[in-house]
Structure 1
């Protein structure tokens, strides 16, 4: 049984566009105190990544830290997701922020632009020496390497996973989709029994449709950016993907009411057996309150050109230049990464781990869904940067921004053609990207 978590989990993205204009002022701010506790400790700020017991357990890990001689101890503080970016921005500007923190997935790249991030090369070197470097799953560390150094270190994978209700597929007498044509076929059959063949939502606070449209573009070898990192929404693969999405809409495979579904509404569709297939976090059964033996992980789809890729987000731990001791920050982060296994052993984290050794623990492998996701999804996971691999601050503006939300809503309501929708999306992004 997966642990449930708050709706905002990897949210480093939402709201960033709104405050991005104010962020440059951080570099010019001075004064304040250092990023150490009143007792001379390294301040570690952490987000609510699961049930309340998660933060209690993480705090105990920090309290148990016994640094080597010369390094500082660490203190722990939970930072709520509500207005979290403003909390970090204000604290960093006044030099009262953390020395080390978790946070939004692209947060480190935004603060790097302000000159506030301490690169993690020392941590990576230490991981190479203690053997943990080779424990990273393939592809999870590279996106954080910039030409100046490692901007952050990944610790958890937030994968977008395809789920299906076995009983509903049996009732409709259709196989689980393996590619786009079979998705359309299955969706039509499910529609005949009054069920959505591709459940999603785009109501207040629900970004499922945002992720769905981008996931389909990525699954077709497309993406928002070119391999060189330039905005490139009008490429043929994107057009083809959105045309297929519009075909799903026109055939009733996507519920016309989905545009107004909040997260609770969308999960209710799964619980009421009104959704049979869809894209969600890696813990849908626990979140929706449905039977785990009937709500199963589907294999990734194969695109029309043979592409097979899925959308993922890489949650990370970042360090800040405003620290009482960079050596102490490095040493603490090396320790904390080594202790992450304790959180998964207690099943307090619904994210996927970045370390192979944790994926092999019995507490993780006793869930067959976990095993399938690690085996089939992680190797083909791509971030919002696709078709590039490097992460950057522009991705914070993309995710959760109005341009993406409006694009997703336009697509799942079938209001316009693919090229028109993409053109409007590109124009919207160009107006906010630097």
Structure 2
């Protein structure tokens, strides 16, 4: 998949997450032992890190790792950058052969899947040493599964409503505050030749499904019930899909979006063919400097029943059992979490920090859009497993999987009743669920 210019990590990885069920569940971890020396690299804490931004990110992360100076008796650390392409197979094969990392970043639900296979080391002792008051609410406890913390958060990825200020002004439209004013703005924008709700529905991207889920969560909906069982066909979800059909009917969701990649949508947003879209942080970076002030984050919409919400992922760091000494891993992890602030200071990531102290940094506060996302969107962000009491392993197969991809195409075509689409989606999710 073509990477989004300012967000290569999220867009280059989401299409491969659907492979997780086969790779994780197919017995590739059977060779994983409870402990061993290979995973620690013979006295070195092996840190595997995904590509969370441009080349400058990997350079910065490598420098942070190499600057680690362990206390006497503790192991040093090494850094390895892992591309998103085929990352599931990379991790599974390495763990099976006992040559995997001691600690890594990864896909949002990777830790849940590996933990269920016996590869992840519980982080309970480590969490007790953290200054939890410095973390935004909910992100630590969301990573608890079957009574144990299985990872620790370092960032979130979230979808917010962006708009072109000049286009709304030209159309005589107000910045939307709810679904009614969103539709009204879309109708006015169509009259000046701009699509009001830009989407990307190509099979090679998952932004389209994320945008639909963001709207469902904005209406108090979700894909699961409280116990974590698939529960797609609900009144709130049907209402959301019928509203999106209305947006198709008024030309806000253009037919061309069905085949759009994220790069196509970005090009439309920059050129003014699309005036609003649900997208990740950092959208202004796609624009020439002279136009960046024209790209603004709106406040979260109020849904028909008073709800506010959007979709987000909690990017996390997990520790593995195949390491000589978890104490060495935890010592490095404590250092690493205290030094990742440099990523936001150097502007090499567009994900949102989960630590209040990083949000308060002058370098972060200079970006008004980021400040607004942190203050208004982060608190209403919901995970893929929203409405369930906890996250669970099968989310890894659903996130970016075929069921959501096919569902997205149907929604954007605007010809199928909402209930029918949700029934089909439910069957697809059930097929890959535990």
Same fold, TM exceeding 0.5? yes
Q: Which of 56, 60, 80 is the matching residue for 2:59?
A: 56
Distance change in 2, residues 1:161/1:397 (3 Å): same
In 1, are the aligned partners of 2:21 and 2:394 still within 8 Å (CA)? no
Distance 1:108 1:295, change over 3 A: same
Which stretch of structure 1 is more off in the superposition, 372-381 or 29-38? 29-38
CA deviation after TM superposition for structure 1 residue 389, in Å: 5.0
Q: Which residue of 1 aligns with 2:320?
A: 320
In structure 1, list runs of 5 or more residues that go unmatched: none
Q: Which residue of 1 aligns with 2:31?
A: 29
Query: Aligned match of 1:104 in 101, 104, 107?
Result: 107
The whole-number CA distance in structure 1 between the counterparts of 2:203 and 2:406 is: 12
- Mapped partners of 1:164, 1:138: distance in 2: 28
Correspondence 1:70 to 2:73: yes
Q: After superposition, what is the alpha-carbon deviation per residue over 1:358-401, rounded to whole angstroms, capped at 9, x for unaligned?
A: 00000000000111111111111111111125222121111111
Taking a change above 3 Å as real, the CA distance of residues 30 and 225 of structure 1, as seen in their structure-2 partners, is closer
Taking the aligned partners of 1:412 and 1:360, their CA distance within structure 2 comes to 39
Instruction: Render the CA deviation track for 1:53-92: whole Å, top value 9, x for unaligned.
Output: 2111111111111222222111111111111111111111
In structure 2, do the counterparts of structure 1 residues 30 and 149 end up closer, same or farther at CA, with 3 Å as the change threshold? closer
Q: Which aligned pairs between 1:380-391 and structure 2 lie closer than 5 A?
A: 380-388=380-388, 390-391=390-391
Equivalent residues in 2 for 1:275-424, closer than 5 Å = 275-287=274-286, 289=288, 291-388=291-388, 390-424=390-424
Q: Could you tell me how far 1:33 is from its partner in structure 2?
A: 6.3
Q: How far 1:198 moved relative to its partner?
A: 0.3
Cα deviation digits, residues 268-326 of structure 1 (max 9, x gap): 10111001111001011213557221010011110000001111111000010001111
- Flag structure 2 segments of 5+ consecutive residues without an equivalent: none
- Counterpart of 2:173 in structure 1 is 174
Compute the TM-score of the two structures, normalised by the length of structure 2: 0.95
Q: 1:205 to 1:111 in 2, by over 3 A?
A: same
1:386-421 Cα offsets, whole Å, 9 max, x none, are 112522212111111111011111011113100001
Paired residues, what number? 427
Once the two structures are overlaid, the 10-residue window that deviates more, 46-55 or 354-363, is 46-55
**Partner of residue 125, structure 1:** 128
- Counterpart CA distance in 1 for 2:286 and 2:422 is 32
Secondary structure of 1:392's match?
coil
Query: Please, which of 87, 90, 106 is the counterpart of residue 84 of structure 1?
Result: 87
Once the two structures are TM-superposed, the CA of residue 6 in structure 1 deviates from its matched residue by 4.9
Alpha-carbon distance between aligned partners in 1 of 2:125 and 2:433, rounded to the nearest angstrom: 32
Give the TM-score of the pair, scaled to structure 1. 0.95
Deviations 1:94-134 (A, max 9, x none): 1111000011111111111110000111211121xxxx221
